[in-house]
Chain A
Amino acid sequence: MSSHAAAATIDHHHDPTTSTGIPNKKLLMWAFLASDCMFFGTLISTHLIYRLHPPAGNPSPRDVFDVPLTSFSTFILLMSSLMMALAVNAIQKGNLKSMRFSLLTTAFFGAIFLGCQVFEFNNFVFEKHMTITGSILGTTFFTLTGTHGTHVAIGVLWLCLMYVRSFKSAEPQPGDHPWLGNILHAVALIAMILLGMKLVLSFVWGFQEHGFTGGTFGAVAGAQWAVIAGLLVCFGALRWFAGQSGPVQFDQHNAIDVETMGLYWHFVDIVWIVIFTAVYLLEYL
């Protein structure tokens, strides 16, 4: 039977083996997300309340915030949600290759969002002198957006682990240590994301400080040669791991795992939709 036919016989939205008819993993994730709503609700409320009674000397958010940058990161997060939805769609149809591509793209967009947040926080602290302990605005802002950023970072880590898991061999050879390969695979992917973020941020800060010139590019590339070398090594390792062909223990029956992870990722997106409006945009009215 083809993978398309097999996929069509699986009902991904209902599970007759549970008393609720909902897969247990999905039910657990929805319950967690409902509780996380309250968590973020209180953080957003706290930020808005302290905007109501700012102490003297509190910086004005209009002087601190950078709407174009935040708009860009919002767009990136929306696109990551699209790729996550496509990853779930792909594995539900048994298309493993497409799912892997979509998972990697989602992790890539998540890393861009985190990079924007690092850039923003760095700018606030060192350029605008708004720290987490320096003002009420800084405390509530960094706590709220930092908590959200932590959620995104956990999501990126989860995406990487799911990507690696999709390579788990269905026929391990005697004497093999598949867990060792999986760990090295995950380390290579996570290291590549972290090194990539560091390199891109170094270029951005270099261009910001010395202008967008070939000389600046060469200087930053020279200073970051170890990072670039690390990136190439990680890329080579990822190519090697991806080239290990053979049957894997990952198909449309694992769609519920990808879908549960997708629910978490989309939740991070909807929280940002609220933060973008309540924390950033309303300040400009």
Chain B
Amino acid sequence: MSDVTTATAHAPGHSVEESKFWIYVQIAMLLAVITGAEIVAIGLPFIKWSLVTALVILSTVKFMFVIFFFMHLRWDKVFCTILFFIGMVLAGGTMWALLQLFGSEASKPLSAASTTDAPSAFVTELS
């Protein structure tokens, strides 16, 4: 029996390693398609909140594909995932708190222009 055959018999994860090439290529194509869909979506005549929701979901899908496949979280120990998500949760919580604080009417600076309707709606949608 050759060395390669012996090694394959002793390593059940070997076929996974071999097939990763095509997994990566397929995921990259999927990410490119999702990016294209996002660009097309901003020109569609739908209600604003539905488009915002769609964009956030599509970005989240791209984000998850990259961290779990390209960054190997799917195959690594779960502690790596926990560690990274601690940072993510803290960052997300900080963003949410800041947007809530500065999104309120009372925090509007006196020097701000009176025409703040469009940007206000912009951030309201986000928060």
Give the interface of A toward B (CB within 8 A): 1-2, 4-9, 11, 13-14, 20-22, 26-27, 30-31, 33-38, 40-42, 44-46, 48-49, 51-58, 67, 71, 74-75, 78-79, 81-82, 84-86, 88-89, 92-93, 259, 262-263, 266-267, 269-270, 273-274, 276-278, 281-285
Contacts and interface: CB of A to CB of B under 8 A. Distances in A.
A20 B83 CA distance: 12
A103 to B, nearest CB: 15
Contacts of B98: 42, 45-46, 49
Contacts of B87: 33-38
Contact of B63 (A2, A54, A274, A283): A274
Contact of B95 (A34, A36, A45, A75): A45
B83 A34 contact: yes
Nearest to B73: A30
Contacts of B3: 1-2, 4-5
Nearest to B35: A74
B29 to A, nearest CB: 9
Interface of B: 2-4, 6-8, 10-11, 13-14, 17, 20-21, 24-25, 27-28, 31-32, 35, 38-39, 42-43, 48, 51-52, 55-56, 58-59, 62-63, 66-67, 69-72, 75-77, 79-80, 83-84, 86-88, 90-92, 94-95, 98-99, 102-103, 107-109, 111-113, 116, 119-120, 122-123, 125-126
B71 A266 contact: yes
A92 B11 CA distance: 14
Nearest to B9: A8
Contacts of B126: 48, 278, 282
Interface residues of chain B: helix, strand, loop or mixed (majority): helix
B79 A5 contact: no
Contacts of A277: 38, 55-56, 58-59
Contacts of A5: 3-4, 6-7
Contact of A92 (B17, B24, B84, B94): B17
A85 B102 contact: no
B88 A22 contact: no
Nearest to A31: B83
Nearest to A34: B87
A48 B99 contact: yes
Closest 3 CB pairs of A and B: A34-B87, A41-B91, A82-B28
Contacts of A48: 95, 99, 123, 126
B123 A45 contact: no
A22 B79 CA distance: 9
A1 B3 CA distance: 6
A281 B71 contact: no
